[in-house]
Amino acid sequence: MKAFTIVGVLLLLYACEQKQNTKVYACVSHTRLNNNSGIDSTIAQSNLSKYNALLLGGDLANLSSYNDSILTYLDKVFDLDNETTMWALGNHDYSNVDLIKTHTNRNNYYAHYQDKTIFLVLDTQMDSSKISGQQLDFFNAVMDTITKAKNLIVLTHKLIWMRSHTELEQKINDVSNGHFGDCDYCIQENNFYKDIYPRLVEFKLKIGDVFCVAGDVGFKAKKIDYLTSDGIQFLGTGIKANSENNVFLKLTNDLKSNKISFEFEKIEKL
């Protein structure tokens, strides 16, 4: 009996240690309906608080910031002002960005550090798919001052890294909700490979792994997974609300090895 108790205690201690050394993040995107009555029912009923971080890839509701009522609803689902809830704004979120700030208490682009990881949230809607002006200055300031992080996760709505990529650009209209073009929600010509990507490669070479996660998929494709020749991991995840075969992106951070792994799982497992 005593031996069994000791073994049981050791197993419990091991399980606790594993939990402490492993952090799990969920990324859900494009949860909107075609009206402002709510969001995808499976996600709305999920226990999202069990994750160490929640990455929202945008287009949460049909008009997420149309009024305080819909934002209050989204806040109850996603806990918007929690620092571990990070939201990259999409075109369906953009009615009133100032109203969003009253619920998140943050700018529409920002950085968050936890678990030896820098989470960098960028706004691809603000300047026609470009990261420019003060946002580009902010991005460079963050990249210039990283000292402790072992990994970098860049969260956006639009899959801006598909544009101007030799292989990916031709797949935009088959993958992204926002197609190739110049419209408000399209993946427009941008400066990702000129100003953003070189800094990511620099981080990869000197420090650790880089994940670019975008949320504007779900209608045509449920996911995209592409590793560049420089070792930068591109990931896209999103759903079509209340339809079959929806998935979410799960990122698992092993704090002992400083390695992040990923997998796409059915949203029923949220």
DSSP per position, 23-42: EEEEEE---B-SSTT-B-HH
pLDDT < 50 stretches in the chain: 1-4, 7, 9-17
3-state secondary structure of 125: coil
* Predicted local confidence at residue 16, as pLDDT: 44
* Predicted local confidence at residue 13, as pLDDT: 41
* Predicted local confidence at residue 98, as pLDDT: 96
Give the global pTM: 0.93
Question: Of 188, 185, 196, which Cα lies nearest the Cα of 219?
Answer: 185
* Predicted local confidence at residue 147, as pLDDT: 87
In whole angstroms, give the CA distance from residue 2 to residue 226.
52
In whole angstroms, give the CA distance from residue 78 to residue 84.
10
Q: What's at 143, amino acid-wise?
A: M
Q: In what order do the strands lie in the sheet with 151-156?
A: 110-114, 117-121, 151-156, 209-214, 233-237, 223-227
Burial of 269 (C-beta count, 10 Å sphere; 0-12/13-18/19+): exposed
